[in-house]
Amino acid sequence: MGSDIEALLAALVLAGVFVVGNLSRSATTTERLWASRRYVSAAAGISVAYVFIDVLPELEAQRRIVVQSTGGADLLFAEQRIYLLALASFVVFYGLEHMVLVTRERVSVNIAGKADAAYITQLTGYIAYSALIGYLLVERADRGTLPLAIYTFAMAVHFLVVDHALYEEHKDRYAPRGRWLLAVSIVGGWFIATEMPISELQIARLFAVLAGGVVITSLRAELPDDRDGRFWPFCLSALSFAGVLMFA
């Protein structure tokens, strides 16, 4: 029960990223903060460090769980299944981003003023993604306070830049309703995890989906482009957080 409460507090912290975005987006100081690409680059460095130092090694550990679940049977692609699942998640999220890009010029809003189909599909994908991150909070809490704290911090930074990218892409179509939906989905994921615990094998599969999603959103939404990127904030934050993860 104690770990569930810790996971709930972590879920509220993550949901707070989007709530604070709703409360402060109109403030000119917030706009000036995010207008400086060094902050986006630093956040990108933290998320990318988390991918390479924590997510990818964890994916290998989850692969062993999947292989062990076969009971020694020589099943087709038993060794690669977890990576195939991560790849499928990567491709799905890339497809969502690509769909928005190719429809940006052709489709904006419909007659009723609602978001276009591409935006709705993209937001739906991020709602499911946020719920998954919230769901895995309980599993991290079961491992201990430190793994939960690291996961929460990394995902909070991740959500900060995802929120910024979605706002920059969709403006008023995303805020404030989109932010509230993402915030609620995180807490909803935590609630489902407490009411519907699943096996270690299923956790491994969900983590593979998370890994693919974190990688593509780190590349697409967080890494700055050649014109706007700030290398040293990105580099220093990546190295610093990598050191924290390695010693933790």
**pLDDT tens per residue, range 45-98:** 888 888 889 888 888 888 887 777 766 555 656 668 888 888 999 999 888 888
- Over the chain, what HEC string results? CHHHHHHHHHHHHHHHHHHHHHHHCCCHHHHHHHHCHHHHHHHHHHHHHHHHHHHHHHHHHHHHHHHHHCCCCCCCCCCCHHHHHHHHHHHHHHHHHHHHHHHCCCCCECCCCCECHHHHHHHHHHHHHHHHHHHHHHHHHHHCHHHHHHHHHHHHHHHHHHHHHHHHHHHHHCCCHHHHHHHHHHHHHHHHHHHCCCCHHHHHHHHHHHHHHHHHHHHHHHCCCCCCCCHHHHHHHHHHHHHHHHHC
Which residue bears the tokens 């062990």?
68
Cβ burial of 111 (10 Å; 0-12, 13-18, 19+) is: exposed
- pLDDT score at 38: 74
pLDDT of 231 > 80? The answer is no
Q: Of the segments 84-93, 149-158, 166-175, which one has the largest average pLDDT value?
A: 149-158
- pLDDT score at 221: 61
Give the residue with greater pLDDT, 64 vs 187.
187
Give percent of the chain with pLDDT exceeding 90. Answer: 31
Q: Specify the pTM.
A: 0.85
Give percent of the chain with pLDDT exceeding 70. Answer: 80
pLDDT of 220 > 50? The answer is yes
pLDDT of 111 > 50? The answer is no
Backbone torsions φ then ψ of 109, nearest 5 degrees? -130, 155
Give the residue with greater pLDDT, 155 vs 163.
155
Output the CA angle 212-214-216, nearest 5 degrees: 70
Q: Of the segments 4-8, 63-67, 74-78, 161-165, which one has the largest average pLDDT value?
A: 4-8
CB 179 within 8 A of CB 123: no
pLDDT of 31 > 80? The answer is no
Domain coverage including residue 194: 2-247
Number of domains in the chain: 1
Poorest-confidence range of 22-36, 42-56, 160-174, 204-218?
A: 22-36
Arithmetic mean of pLDDT over the chain = 81
- pLDDT score at 76: 58
The tokens for 214 are 């974190």
Give the residue with greater pLDDT, 94 vs 32.
94
CB 93 within 8 A of CB 214: no
